[in-house]
């Protein structure tokens, strides 16, 4: 718990208790007590509560580190249980479906009934799933364990995204990027830790990652305390963003459809990388399993770096511009990747990760502005779509790889970013801002 002491809570001095809007601020992070007042006080400029945003980003890092262990240990599971690529795809599908189907429902429910401590409860499901996975003795038990890990993620993302927006001080893109970069950093650490701990020691070494889940539970309990004391910061459902008022319901639905299509192109391509990149490197370049995990780490770390770029730039130049440059702009590099030597693959994968990752924070915030008052539901929908599409895509790509080759899968997926041309059809919700 001491590692989280900088986020610890303390009571508000008596001199402050006379302020009605600060009556619940004893759950705020003391390192940013003044920033917290700036958010709570009416009539003053809002500032981001960085203590909460950093805590959420750390919790997201821990959550997604555990999530990313699953694809990272595919080579180990494939060898131990003699799995086909189709079965590998089914593992991803099971994990991603439980991590996606519940998210919009959780977001819809908590938009109406906030659940401050649901985050730590969700992390408990992840803890149970990892424990079961470390002792799994059959393919069926593997599916059950990855499903539990997926449920934990499904509970975590909608509420955590809402709290990030609450604590953003109006800098929604920055807050979403800071929150998301933790998750993508965690996704990159999973393969690295798997290469260092699980590949040498075997499946049973997964049990050590239960300590990460316990740390996450403690952090999220503290975040839940802050959330419970600041629910008055939630905007009522009827509050509408002035941009969205000028759009017809048909335009909003059409725009959401385009965003969903863009998420499809992004996450099917990412599924090809996260699930089959190691196999591609092993098959084509004959690298070791451990070396392939380090290459996957480089790609996923680039994804994390790209995430922090998209939100702040979107706050400045407009989210549509970021979406356009990210999805379509990565196309030349994805088309080139299947045709270069190993060093070229490594370099291109880093470029692709940085560019492609910058879109997601912008897409989520853009969608939240399209449908104001439904922050949790929209966050759950798009995080859920990201996981669900990745799971379905991984299963289909695995089946395709069994009938053709992993190299053919990479050549086919290289064309997916061309769907970024649809960005031109999105309405402009904001004008570029200068800060």
Within 10 Å of residue 113's Cβ, how many Cβ atoms? Answer: 6
The distance of Cα 2 from the centroid of its chain, to the nearest Å, equals: 27
Domain residues for the domain of 238 are 46-425
pTM for this model (two decimals) = 0.63
Determine, yes or no, domain membership for 17. no
Half-sphere exposure of 24 (CA within 13 A, CB side): 13
Determine, yes or no, domain membership for 414. yes
| CATH label of the domain that carries residue 76 | 1.20.1250.20
Q: What pLDDT does 220 receive?
A: 93
Q: Which two tokens stand for residue 121?
A: 């409860």
State the total domains in the chain: 1
Q: What pLDDT does 31 receive?
A: 34
* Residue numbers of the chain with a pLDDT score lower than 70: 1-48, 232-245, 386-388, 390-391, 430-435
Q: Which two tokens stand for residue 20?
A: 């009605």
Q: Which long-range contacts link 1-6 to residues 24+ away (Cβ below 8 Å)?
A: 1/218, 3/215, 4/55, 4/218, 4/219, 4/222, 6/31, 6/51
Q: What pLDDT does 185 receive?
A: 78
Q: Which two tokens stand for residue 223?
A: 């975040």
Determine, yes or no, domain membership for 27. no
Determine, yes or no, domain membership for 411. yes
Q: What pLDDT does 7 receive?
A: 40
Q: Which two tokens stand for residue 240?
A: 């509408």
CB 25, CB 148: distance < 8 Å: no
pLDDT digits (tens, 9 = 90+) for 231-289: 766 654 444 444 445 788 899 999 999 998 898 888 889 888 888 898 899 999 999 98
Buried b (16+ CB within 10 A) or exposed e, 60-91: bbbbbbbbbbbbbbbbbbbeeeebebebbbbb
Determine, yes or no, domain membership for 287. yes
User: What residues contact residue 137 under an 8 Å CB cut-off, 6+ apart?
Assistant: none
Determine, yes or no, domain membership for 55. yes
Determine, yes or no, domain membership for 22. no
Q: What pLDDT does 86 receive?
A: 85
Q: What pLDDT does 149 receive?
A: 92
Secondary structure (3-state) at 284: helix
Q: What pLDDT does 132 receive?
A: 93
Calculate the alpha carbon distances from 297 to 88, 264, 278, 333, 342 in Å. 19, 23, 10, 19, 15
242 CB-contact burial (10 Å; exposed 0-12 / middle 13-18 / buried 19+): exposed
Q: What pLDDT does 190 receive?
A: 80
């Amino acid at each position: 718990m001491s590692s989280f002491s900088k986020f610890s809570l303390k009571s508000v001095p008596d001199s402050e208790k006379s302020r009605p809007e600060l009556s619940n601020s004893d759950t705020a992070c003391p390192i940013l007590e003044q920033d917290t007042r700036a958010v709570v006080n009416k009539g003053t400029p809002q500032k981001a509560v960085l203590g909460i945003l950093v805590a959420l980003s750390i919790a997201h890092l821990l959550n997604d580190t555990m999530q990313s262990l699953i694809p990272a240990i595919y080579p180990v599971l494939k060898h131990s249980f003699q799995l086909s690529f189709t079965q590998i795809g089914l593992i991803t599908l099971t994990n991603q479906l439980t991590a996606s189907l519940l998210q919009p429902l959780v977001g819809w429910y908590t938009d109406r009934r906030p659940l401050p401590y649901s985050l730590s409860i969700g992390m408990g499901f992840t803890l149970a799933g990892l424990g079961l996975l470390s002792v799994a003795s059959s393919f069926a038990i593997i599916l059950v364990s990855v499903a539990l890990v997926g449920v934990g993620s499904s509970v975590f993302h909608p509420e955590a995204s809402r709290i990030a927006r609450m604590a953003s001080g109006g800098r929604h893109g920055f807050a979403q990027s800071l929150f998301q970069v933790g998750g993508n950093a965690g996704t990159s650490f999973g393969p690295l830790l798997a290469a260092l701990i699980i590949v040498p020691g075997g499946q049973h070494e997964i049990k050590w990652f239960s300590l990460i889940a316990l740390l996450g539970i403690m952090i999220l309990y503290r975040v839940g305390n802050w959330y419970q004391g600041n629910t008055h910061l939630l905007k009522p459902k009827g509050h509408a963003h002035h941009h969205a008022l000028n759009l017809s319901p048909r335009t909003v639905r059409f725009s959401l459809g385009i965003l969903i299509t863009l998420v499809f192109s992004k996450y099917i391509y990412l599924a090809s990388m996260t699930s089959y990149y190691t196999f591609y490197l092993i098959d084509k370049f004959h690298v070791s399993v451990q070396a392939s995990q380090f290459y996957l780490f480089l790609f996923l770390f680039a994804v994390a770096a790209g995430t922090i770029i998209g939100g702040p730039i979107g706050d400045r130049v407009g989210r549509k511009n970021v979406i356009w440059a990210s999805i379509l702009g990565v196309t030349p590099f994805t088309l080139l990747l299947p045709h270069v030597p190993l060093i070229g693959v490594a370099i291109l994968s880093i470029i692709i990760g940085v560019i492609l990752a910058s879109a997601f924070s912008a897409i989520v915030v853009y969608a939240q502005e399209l449908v104001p008052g439904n922050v949790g539901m929209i966050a759950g929908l798009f995080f859920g779509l990201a996981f669900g599409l990745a799971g379905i895509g991984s299963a289909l790509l695995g089946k395709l790889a069994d009938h053709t080759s992993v190299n053919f899968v990479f050549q086919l997926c290289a064309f997916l970013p061309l769907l970024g041309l649809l960005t031109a059809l999105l309405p402009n919700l904001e004008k570029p801002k200068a800060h």
